Amino acid sequence: MAHRHFIIHKPFGYISQFVTNHRKKKLLGELYEFPEGTMAIGRLDEKSEGLLLLTTDGKMSEQVRRKDVEKEYYAQVDGLITDEAIEHLQQGVAIGLYGEKYETNTCKAHRLETSPDFAERTRKIRDERHGPTSWVSITLTEGKNRQVRKMTAAVGFPTLRLIRVRVGSIYLRELPAGAVKEVPDFSLALAESDI
């Protein structure tokens, strides 16, 4: 039987799983009737949104999780992020990871001069009375637990909203929150594609 592959815009409040012991958690299977054996490639935590790849092929999952495959995130942070903070992110920062200190790899990071055009989140972030926010793009080739959130906090700008917009050359583009799109294959897209 041929393997099947999907991209999804994971909404806020869902976990990147199909089963859980927590009855109140929202699962991916509530968004679409995926075939048996479908697995998420990597994860986005419950509060994170954006591009998630799913497949029935374990070998494809391994290809996508390679260390050289970039993952790009847009983070809305508390405050107007500074050039110094951006530079610190680029050079790597020390974050807490499982009770130890971990130094993140160098990465690509830059301030977004205009706010990205995403729909309002289902749960309000906060209002303008609490001060300004700004957006930053961070591109990683590693994926530690809650890494982007820990990185922005380490440079003094905690993440308020986090959206993954790209894996390799697969982009979220205009796919609305909660939408699922079946695609032919991920392997070519990791090199170059326009899925």
3 state SS of 12: coil
Asked if residue 55 lies in contact with residue 42, where contact means CB atoms within 8 angstroms, the answer is: no
Residue whose C-alpha is closest to residue 89's, from 73, 70, 108: 108
From 45, 57, 117, 194, the catalytic residue = 45
DSSP codes joined into one string, 59-91:
HHHHHHTSTTS-EEEEEEEES---HHHHHHHHH
Q: Which residue has the tokens 């494809």?
A: 60
78 in active site: no
Residues 6+ apart with CB under 8 A from 99: none
33 alpha carbon, distance to own chain's centre: 22
- The token pair at 34 is 């995926």
Helix (H) or strand (E) holding 53: strand 49-55
Helix (H) or strand (E) holding 119: none
End-to-end CA distance of the chain: 23
Alpha carbon distance 170, 100 (integer Å): 33
Catalytic residue list: 45
